[in-house]
Every structure is written in structure tokens, then in C-alpha cells.
Amino acid sequence: MPLTVLSDADIHALLISLSKEDIERLQSNLCDAMHDYSKGSQETCAGCSGNQPKRMMIPGPNKQTTLFMPAATNTSKGVKIISLASPPNATKTPSLASLDLNSSFDSRNSSPAPQSPSRASSISTNASLSHTTSNTSTKSNTPYTPSSSITSPASTNPSLTSSQSTTPRGSLTLLDSFGNPYAFLAAEELTAFRTALGSTVILTKREKVHSITVFGAGMQARWHIRLALLLKGPHIHHVDIINRSFARAKAIMHDFYTSDEWADIRERNPKVQFSILSSEFKDRHQHLKDHVRKADAIFLTTPSTEPLFPAEILTHAEGRKKGRYIAAIGSYRSHMVELHPDILQQAVAVDHKHHHHRHADEGRVIIVDSLEECLKGAGEVVQAGITPKQLVEVGELMMVKKASMREIEMGGEGEKGLKNWLIKGNVIYKSVGLGLMDICVGEDVVGIARERGLGTHIEGF
């Protein structure tokens, strides 16, 4: 078997070429692997949790941490080695919720929101960034280019990712069942993709997804937006990006409307409109509340150490009326937190039916990728005091869901409560990432690369 070597550029080119059907196939394979992880036995399943070695963390200079993540599926084994930069001032990273935001920007309007008098001299806006749906309804050889020139205030704090990248960089080595190495992959793009692939598994079954809100504007945010638009098609009308840096969020929106890489998704989603909320903008509290409450799905993709928005936006009776799906994937250590612990505590609280306000169904559990890893490494879970009985692994849940829906299709009752909660209730998914996910998705990526002749293939290795 040849050794396949895939660079980040190779992997990027491969991943952006995947169709909706390709993504669904990869998701199905990932669900099967996660089910093996949750329900398999050590004697019969190489991919069960009991056969997964513990990850190892080694601190390094310049606030770098290197993670060694060995794992195995039923067909492959391997190890991902990645280095991550700790967030600056890791004990207290400012969140968007605590920043002084001075205006909002919405691509549905022809110009940025009015400036407050105190900020007018520090913001120079020479042209508006706008679009109409007709710009994306047909495919053209000449991409639509918005006219925009916006200078951010010099005093604005730079985004976390622009000042010190926290994107994981490293490699994934894959071996066959006999221990022979057959692939070596760059891990940066692959990690972002497999995380988004896992986050959007439940999203695909949601009944109503017209508006999504994404916190962050890095590679994870890009892949969550891309897969959401690919999988939910024309159902999504609004994409709201909330990020400390306007420039990074604007870059995602600009790419969507101009880049050939997004052309097919543009054509399938002609009505989608973007808006941006960043540290340059005014009326921050109201815009933040509006974006969070109107969202049908929220993706949190930042390495924050403070909640990204106040808990009361969702814990208040008004915030509970609407069911939404929340995926928190950016924080991966116990001191890091994106979602306020009060939101998790409310989600798992016993409902005594004494409330006087109608609210969406709660499952009384938080969905996680790994119960063991999230109990010790997910800041939201740790700080909320969530117990093992209040967590359910996605691998276990998705198989129950499949069985339930299959029974309903055959005329049975199914698990109606479970189904209703998953498709239209308040659902929280927390992921800290598993090496198993990398091995599973890496296998599929290597297979596709060989079919399409991508990458470098070394014979007789």
C-alpha cells in the first residue's frame, strides 16, 4: 500500500469540492464510529472508548501546548499531534459580551448603522458593503464584488486570532490494522472540518433553521457556516457573524459573495444574507440579544475564557420560547468557557410544570462527544456542575434517534419525546474533540484523495 501525503492545501482543495451527498456519507461514517465509541465492547470493537488511549498534553515555550491524541477505529489506528497557542491572558480573556461595541453592520442594509457622535471621528467609512439577492441567484464567470472600504478604529483591540493564532497546527499519521503507515496528513484544515462535521450532525435533522449565528471568524467558523449552508440548503436565510475583529468576519462574507470556492453554495442559497457584529460597532447589547434570540442555530467557535453572551438572553422567559440548537466547540479546557454555565443548568433542570410561560422542549441532558473528556475538560460542563447522568454521548443518542425514526416510518410510535426535542427543542452539544474523530474522517479523506489523484503517493514505503 502506498503512503499518501496530504498537505493542508491538498486537504482544503479536496474538502471544498465535496458535495452534499459526500458530506452526508462522511457524517454517517462518523456517526457509526461515535456509536462504536459509546456502545462497543473492548472484546469486539477496536473503536470503543475502552480501547482509546488517553491524550497527552505537553506544555512548551511561548504559551504553546502540544497534544498527542492516539486513537483507533475498527479499520485504522493512528495519532494526531497538534500544537495550540494558549489564549493571551488565559486566566481572563475578554469576551465579546464584555467589549465596548459601538455599532452594527448588516449586509441587508445599504450602509453601516449610524455612528455615535463620540466615535464619528475615529471611524472612516468610505463606501458601504451591501448586496441584493439577485447578485447570487445566477452563476457567472465574473464573481460579484462588493464595493467596500472600511477603516477600523486604531484603538480597537485586535481579535484573538489576528494577534495570536489558536488554530491547531500539526499532523495526523494513519496506520492500517497491521501497523503499517499508509497516510500522513496536515491537521489544521482537517481538524476544523471534522469538528464542524460533528457539530452539524444534529443540525441536519432540525425542523426549522432559517437563521444561524456564529461566534468567531476563524477556520472553525468558516467550516461551520459552509457545512450549515451546504446541508440545509435554501432554508437558511440569515447568517450572523459575531467576532471581535470586523475585518476577519468581513473576509468570510466577502469570500461567500466573490470566491469560486463558494460558487455552488451561492447558487443553492440565493436568498442568504449576512450581517456582522464586532467591536467596532454600536448598540452592542441590543444587537447581541437580537442575534442570539432570533437564531435557530448558534455555533460557538472561540477559545474564550468568559461567556460570549449574558445567560439571561436565553434563560429569560422570552429567550426560552423558541427552540434552538447550540453547538459549543471552541473551549477545550476546564478554565475555558463560551456558554454561560447558567444556560446549561437550566437545560438539565427538572421541569415541575409550575412555570407560567410557554417554552420549547428541554431534553434534561447535554449532548457531548465524550462523557469522560467533557467531565474533566469542558469548562461549561465543569463550571455548571453537570453530573454524568445529565450528559449523553452523541454516538449513543444518534443510534437511538435512527431507531426511533425508523419505527415511525414503519407506522410505529417511536420515541416521540426524543424526536420532538431533537428536531425543535432546545438542544446543546458540547465537544472537546476526539482523536477517534480524526482517524475516522482522515480515513475517508485519504480514500477520496486516492480516488481523485490528489496529494503525493509514495509507492513501496
pLDDT along the chain (461 residues), means of 10: 95 97 96 92 89 89 86 95 69 42 42 33 28 34 34 32 60 95 97 97 93 96 98 93 93 95 93 89 85 97 94 92 94 91 92 60 88 92 94 85 62 69 93 95 98 93 71
- d(CA 43, CA 51) in angstroms, rounded, equals 9
- Give the single-character DSSP code of 110: S
In the numeric block, the cell 437564531 is attached to 295
All structural domains of the chain: 199-433 (3.40.50.720)
Which residues on neighbouring strands pair with residue 71, listed in sequence order?
78
pLDDT for res 132: 30
Kindly report the pTM of this predicted structure.
0.82
Contacts for 280 with CB less than 8 Å, ≥ 6 apart: 101, 102, 103, 123, 152, 153, 156, 246
Contact 314, 131 (CB under 8 A): no
Surface-to-core class of residue 8, CB atoms within 10 Å of its CB (0-12 exposed, 13-18 middle, 19+ buried): middle
pLDDT for res 351: 67
pLDDT for res 161: 36
Q: Which string of DSSP letters, residue by residue, matches 9-76?
A: HHHHHHHHT--HHHHHHHHHHHHHHHHHHHH--TTT-TTSGGGSPPPEEEE-STTEEEEEEEEE-SS-
E strand segments, 358-453: 366-368, 391-393, 427-430
pLDDT for res 157: 34
The SS3 assignment for 8 reads: helix
Q: What is the largest CA-CA distance in the chain?
A: 70
